Structure 1
Amino acid sequence: MNYIDRNGVTTARLQGLEEDLGLNDLRYEVILSILYVTYCPAQIPSNMFLNWIRRPSLYIGGCVIAWGLTSALTGVTHNYGGILATRMFIGLPEAAFYPGTIYLLSRWYTKKVELAFRSSILYSGLLTSNAFGALMAAGILHGLEGARGIRGWRWLFYIEGAITMFIGLNSMWLLPDYPHNTRWISPFERQLAQARLAEDAGEADQDNDSDSPWKGLLMALKDPKVVLFCVMNASQLLGLSFVNFFPTLAATLNPNFSTTIALLLAAPPWIFATVTCIASAWHADRTGERYFHIAGWWWGVVVGFIIALCTMNTAGRYVSMFLMATGYSGCAMTLVWVSNVTPRPPAKRAAALGLVNGIGNLGNLMGSYVWKAEWGPEYHQSMIVSLAALALSTVLALVIRQLIIRDNKKLDTDERAAMEGADRTRVEEAARLEGITFEQAMERRKGFRFLY
């Protein structure tokens, strides 16, 4: 629902949104991009706050309700200023969601064999929303056009916003909080959940008294890998920014296609991408490998761009759309990799996830101006820019990989480095949770390595 609500304007555009609100191409691009003005910077303090509060279920659920209400109110706008205001505000509650949920998952699942697969299931919601969101939109735009004197695109926002608010209300009591304070698990299960994470990283997954949210932010900013991840993610999302224009790209396959047919054709590539995303993450968990499970899918997108640059044939372009969609299989692993290389303390991990996703979404902001209507229906300039951005993200990911290999070699050759990098308080808590001595816990801590 997060992505369905965010991208509602891209499907509404196909049936009267621009005409009813007096939008031209520039105003439409501003409406797409203005969301990121609030969405990007708000993610950093949101994740810092999420790590500090005790009940993430209430916080995340409340944010879901807030953006659902804002999305529904988009349907009552009557001019450019009105939709601009709703698009700007919707970025604030949405900022809590994706980095926040990845952080919450990292508080429950181990990095070695669980987190990537679970995160891909979460991310598949984005991919399936691009498929079934388009199908839902096709039904609403076609079936409710003019119902009760209301345009179909307005019904689209009303219905999708109402569904989102219903989900948000239920998630407030269905979601868990953290392992140590979730209300509906037993004391034994609480200890087991915490002991699993302690064994996974050699330290308890908790902040010390000195690990404030601000200290976590400073630690993340001082880590060169986090800075590189920020730039890499921005470049990646610029390269994948076609997602906001996917229904429009489907409409360019054949000028005779109706809005309904274009939306239906936009669905299968995302269904295929959902399958590849989950399969790739499952394999990444089994192997512990990260770089090729991320960058490899970008190379498939590059092939898709090359095909689309070389032909306007309907079949060829449709195949390229499948390859383009699979690029999000790599995108799904990005924050997982960030979590893997910034495991402790949680304050640093939370800030790093907020930084990487917040700054990274500047790529989507730039992408709003890359896919210009005047460059259609070929969009050759747009694809060249996107191709170059994916090439840059590939290089940056390789640099990160080499930095991690260097850090691991240092741990391999110098046991003292592994010991010095440990936090005594968290190791002591890990020993208590696992029922072993401090010395045994420190021996386990020696085996910790970063995943690359």
Structure 2
Amino acid sequence: MADDISRSNNDRIEVEVEKENIENLENITEQQQNVLPHIDPARRIVVEKTLKRKLDARCSLFVLIYIMNYLDRNNISAARLKGLQEDLSLSDTQYSTCLSILYVGYILMQVPSNMFINRISRPSIYIAIAMTLWGLISTCSGWAKNFGHMVAIRFLLGFVEAAFLPGALLILSKWYTRRELTTRNAVLFCGNLISNAFSSLVAAGVLSNMDGVLGHAAWRWLFWIEGAITMTIALSSAFILPDLPTNARGFTEEERLVAQLRLLEDVGEADTDSEEQSPFTGLIMALKDWKIYIMMLSFTAYVVGLSFNAFFPTLTGTLGFSEIPTLLLSAPPWVFSCIFSVVNAWHADRTQEKIWHIYGPIMMGLVGFIISMSTLNVAARYVALFLQAGSYAGFIFLIPSSPAKRAVALALINAFSQLGNVAGSYVWDLSENGYRKSYGIVTAMFGITIVGFWLFRMILVNLNKQLSEAEVADEDQGGDFIVSANESLCMRKGFRYLV
């Protein structure tokens, strides 16, 4: 929501780079510095197209990993329909605790994990190891015998899964410019949406065919099969995922240099932390920025509103169909949500506007909530599920400029917002009258989200005014940057916060 944008609407690639700016790029030799300014313009365009094509292909694996990330996290909801709660003798409150405890580990690990991933040179290996571990832990869910087992497994699962999403967002931000990032982030989040659809189809197949195989309940096979798939994918991710523009394998030296220049031209400085910065510099910078606290609270309310995700098969079950048709009916709303999210993000990148591309999906979700509270008509309630799933399309992240601050801010916002999932796990205990009270709560949370994002927008509008005034005051200074005691105003001239 807070990407910076240049006033210039010129989309042509700048070829001539001032030598003083090129020297800001670390890890580039003197010989390379002399060659870069003389890259043929036509050659630069070809190299950049090849770079983005390779990058998009490699980063597409993030979508598959995110599918498995959510699949392993939310398959407990489908397993509940086939006897998990009864076999483990869980009360409704204990089941909700099994859901919410995952986010305790998830919250605790996100910030230290992203601080670590921002300091290492091979994040692909780190994510591959984390994925292997959470796949192994997920398979252990199939061996759970009681409430204590399941709580411990879910806590560890969240602890290890925390490495993925903020880490993936950080890696994407190190390769793509701000004009490209919203669409790529939306494609990444489609992994979440696809998993909601795909998990229902996989669960329908496993739960309808595996019951009693080798003497085990079908819901146990669901955990074992999906965990094994996760570990298999993890093996390939270490070789396919990109690392950093300075050292990524599978790219030519020319492509890596152009990748670094793209970020230099985009933000006005190299996308690397200075040697003087400690691992805690980004944490301190993020904690001093009170705008991040507004985003943390707003996204938390948003996540509470989206908490129907973990209960989607149960909510679909209110339509009155049996288990397998319920799982099959749970898939189409998420397919719609995926398509709508990509179109919404693409249009946001094209128009360079954010707030109404967030409000639109939220309003769609509110209409779905109101329909679900107002009627028990089967057709109307199923349409409402499509509208509710579509509300995910507004989930767009703040991307700070400094790599160290960006790593912590992404993790802080995402981690703190998961408190919404903890609270949301208990919101849907109120099952009477088709979950009307629960829908009332998430409606109120979306209202808080709207207010929070509007307040954030007003702050950015005010900062843009200050940037304009600072440029006028400094127009005789001749420098390329605005120097200010306020970090939010220390920007390259011409930049504006995108609102």
Once residues 210 and 315 of structure 2 are traced to their aligned partners in structure 1, the CA distance between those partners, rounded to angstroms, is 24
Q: Which amino acid aligns with 2:498?
A: L
Secondary structure (helix, strand or coil) at the match of 1:449 reads strand
Cα distance in structure 1, aligned partners of 2:161 and 2:139: 14
Which residue does 2:492 correspond to in 1?
Answer: 445
Structure 1 segment 116-131 matched on structure 2, within 5 A: 116-131=182-197
Cα deviation for residue 161 of structure 1 reads 0.2
Alignment of 1:387-406 (within 5 A): 387-406=443-462
Question: 2-side partners of 1:422 and 1:282: how far apart?
Answer: 34
Equivalent positions of 1:33-52 (< 5 A) are 33-52=100-119
Counterpart for residue 385 of structure 1: 441
Q: Aligned partners of 2:493, 2:270: CA distance in 1, in Å?
A: 15
Offset at residue 421 of structure 1 (A): 4.4
CA distance in 1, matches of 2:469, 2:106: 43
Q: Which residue of the partner structure matches residue 30 of structure 1?
A: 97
Give the aligned partner of residue 308 of structure 1.
Answer: 372
Q: Which runs of 5+ in 2 are unaligned?
A: 1-67
Cα distance in 2, alignment partners of residues 287 and 210 from structure 1: 38
Match of 2:167 in 1: 100
* Partner Cα separation in structure 1 for residue 483 and residue 327 of structure 2: 52
1:110 and 2:177 correspond = yes
Which among 87, 90, 94 is matched to residue 20 of structure 1? 87
| Farther off after superposition, 358-367 or 403-412 | 403-412
Q: Deviations over 1:79-125 (max 9, x none)?
A: 1111111101001111011111011100000112x101111111111
- Specify the code of the residue in structure 1 equivalent to 2:218: G
Report the CA distance between 1:75 and its aligned residue: 0.4
Note the alpha carbon deviations across 1:22-62, whole angstroms, 9 max, x for none.
Answer: 11101100000000111012111111111011110001111
Is residue 12–residue 156 contact of structure 1 (8 Å, CA) maintained in 2? yes
- In the TM superposition, what is the alpha-carbon distance from 1:225 to its structure 2 partner? 1.3
Shift of 1:377: 4.9
1:51-70 → structure 2 map (5 Å cutoff): 51-70=118-137
- In the other structure, the counterpart of 2:278 is 212
1:149 is displaced (CA, Å) by 1.1
The equivalent of 1:358 in structure 2 is 415
Change (3 A) 1:35 1:110: same
Match of 1:227 in 2: 293
Query: 1:422 deviation in Å?
Result: 8.6
Q: 2:437 matched to 1:371?
A: no
2:315 is aligned with what amino acid? Answer: L
SS of 1:445 mapped into structure 2: coil
Structure 2 distance, partners of 1:278, 1:421, is 37
Do residues 325 (structure 1) and 425 (structure 2) align?
no
8 Å contact kept, 1:47–1:96: yes
Is 1:259 equivalent to 2:316 in the alignment? Answer: no
- Deviations along 1:152-199, one digit per CA (max 9) or x if unpaired, are 001000000000001111101111101011122111111100111111
Partner of 1:268: 332
Superposed, which structure 2 residues align to 1:83-162 within 5 Å? 83-112=150-179, 114-162=180-228
Deviation at 1:218, TM superposition (A): 1.0
- Post-superposition offset of 1:411: 1.2
Summarize the Cα distance change of 1:122–1:259 in structure 2 as closer, same or farther, 3 Å threshold.
same
Q: Tell me the percent identity.
A: 47
CA contact (8 A) 1:252 1:377 kept: no
Counterparts of 1:272-283 in structure 2, within 5 Å, are: 272-283=336-347
Alignment check: 8 A CA contact 2:74 2:310 kept: yes
- Equivalent residue number for residue 431 of structure 1: none
Q: Residues of 1 paired with 2:86 and 2:438: CA distance?
A: 25
* One-letter amino acid of the structure 1 residue matched with residue 283 of structure 2: L
Give the letter for the 1:190 counterpart: R
Aligned alpha-carbon RMSD (Å): 1.6
Count residues in correspondence: 422
Moved over 4 A (4+): none
CA distance in 2, matches of 1:208, 1:285: 30
8 Å CA contact retained: 1:294, 1:330 = yes
Gaps of 5+ in 1: 424-441
Tell me if structure 2 keeps the 8 A contact 1:4–1:130: yes
